Every structure is written in structure tokens, then in C-alpha cells.
Amino acid sequence: MALAGKSPPAPQPQLIRDFYAYNSRITVEQADNDLRNGRLPDLHVPSNDPDQWVGDLTLTCQVEILASGGELTFELVEGNRQYRCTIDLASGQGRFVYVHELDREGEDPRPAGDPLETGMNRPGRFALSFANVDDRLCLWIDDRLVKSLDFEPDSKFEPQISPVVPSNRDKSPVGIAARMAKLRIDHLRIERDIFYRHEPGGMATAHETTFTLHKDDADPRNDEFLMLGDNSPRSNDSRLWAPPHSVPRHLLIGKAFFVYWPHGVPFLNGGRGFAIGKYSEPQPRDGSETNPPLPKFSLPFYPQVGRMHRIR
């Protein structure tokens, strides 16, 4: 609608899910055709592969304090529990608190851990990240880990088995509030954790698949590791391998330290280059669509020198 000059409808609250845009099977030709006709391409998600809800989130932003004083609060929601980081902009002291799910109005936040010092008691710009990931709350300010707090065993959120029955709080999982403060917030970004599906083929079901790994106390080189891909719905990782579904330590060769050849950028032919060979992705098992061949390699191209860098 925006492409056609019309006002888009008001956004509706929704769950954050493990959706991957590159799994939606949109080809360059399809995108070009749709955009020329004033519409965005449809995202194709197979009916037998529904997205899964992700509760582990990180909120990142830039905070510009224009005057000392007041209070700033960030909130992340998982299930019916609200986790907050509150910062006193006069003293710079912060604290983690949480709102118990039985507190329907959210008026009685409970302290979690000791107070923390943020240094945000003066005018200036600060890069801030607040995370609720892997049963741990973390706060970074200007790339410095200010506080990390592990959940107590009885306070961990128990994941729900798909399909998730959402609540209104799940659909609005991030919040920012200020009181008696003069500030500006921009460069907002919400990042989700990877949702590792536990079934072969990437599906999440009501039952679990158990993978047993071997630990060799006599020779640690034989310790076994389960290898999970970052695109869990599509990865041909350890879940799909033949037993023992693992890799021994002595085959884990090294650590990546340099991006030396990012994808080349093709040009000519409308910016697509000319395909040298093609490959076809696996076809959906439900027969709902047919994936067209994709270029395996395109000429001419230029290297992305700007993306070559050392990995910290």
C-alpha cells in the first residue's frame, strides 16, 4: 500500500516467531515483477511447517540523554512474565526487576539481583542492549557488559509446546518508558534468539527426540558434540545424520577468524549478472509449490572488499 501512495493499516500486535526471510522462496524475478506492479511479494510458508514462537529477545537502541534526571525503563516479556531494567538518570544507578504473572496490573515489580552502575547520569549518547536470553538477563552499555543475572531454577520460563496459546503480553513483548526525563531514543532494533527445533526435518512436535552424546574422560579428543545449524527449520544438521548424530572433538579443526571472500556482487543484466550453472532447492513435501532453479554462480561480479574483516 505504501508503494501505491496509500496509508498502510495500523500495525497489529503479533508474536515474534522463528521466521527466516530466505526460507520464503521469493525469486529475484518474482520480486522484480511484484514491485513493478506496485505490490510486495508474498511470503510463502508451507502449511506443514508453521513458525514457532520465540521468547528470548534482545532490545538494542541509542539513548541520548538531554538533561540529567528522571527515570528510564526497558521491558522484555516472555510468557506472562515481564522483565525490566530501570535506570535512575540522576544517579546513574540501575536495577533489574520483574513483574510476576499473578500481578495482572504490573504495579508491584519485584527486585532481581543487586543494583548496578550504568554511568548514565549525565547528558550524552549511549549505546544500550537489554537481553533476556537463555534464562539470563544482561545489560550492555557502550559494548560493556554492565550486569548479567542468571535466573533461579524456580523462576525459569517453561517453554510451551506448539501450538502456542498466545497472550496479549506475548504479542507486545518489548516496551520502553520514561518518567520526568528529557531524552531521545533511536536506532531501535529487536533481535530474537535462534529457535532450535528438536525434531528431524526441523519440525517441533509434542514429543521430544533424545540424542545421546559420549564423553570420554580418558581421551577428551573423543568427546562428542551435536551440531545444530542456525537455520533450524531447514538445516541438514545432526538431527538428520545417521547415528550417532555427532562430531568428535578431534574433528573440530579450528575457529573462524577472518571473512576473506564475501559473496561477490553481480552487475550487468539489470544487476543480476549472467548465470553460470544453476541449482535447484529441495521441493516442498506437501507439493504446494515448485522451487525454480537458482543461479549457482553469476558473471561479471565485483568483490565486496568492505565486508572483508577480522572476526573478533
Q: How many CA atoms lie within 13 A of 54 on its CB side?
A: 22
Query: What's the pLDDT tens digit per position in 135-179?
Result: 999 999 999 999 999 987 666 666 555 555 667 788 899 999 999
pLDDT category of residue 240 using cuts at 50, 70 and 90? confident
**How many angstroms separate the CA atoms of 16 and 172, rounded?**
9
The mean pLDDT value for 96-114 works out to 81
Task: Categorize the per-residue pLDDT at 261 as very low, low, confident or very high, splitting at 50, 70 and 90.
Answer: confident
Q: Which of 27-36, 203-212, 265-274, 290-299 has the lowest mean pLDDT?
A: 203-212
The pLDDT value given to residue 206: 47
Q: Which of 35-49, 58-72, 155-169 has the highest mean pLDDT?
A: 58-72
Return the higher-pLDDT residue of 36 and 279: 36
> SS3 for 261?
coil
- Max avg pLDDT among 13-22, 115-124, 198-207, 237-246: 115-124
Domain boundaries, the chain: 57-192
10 Å CB burial of residue 271 (0-12, 13-18, 19+) is: exposed
Q: Going by C-beta distance under 8 Å and a sequence separation of 6 or more, which residues neighbour residue 178?
A: 70, 71, 72, 73
Average pLDDT, the chain: 84
Percent of the chain with pLDDT over 70: 82
Q: What does pTM read for this prediction? A: 0.74
Q: Residue 225 pLDDT > 60, yes or no?
A: yes
Half-sphere exposure of 216 (CA within 13 A, CB side): 11
CATH number of the structural domain 57-192: 2.60.120.560
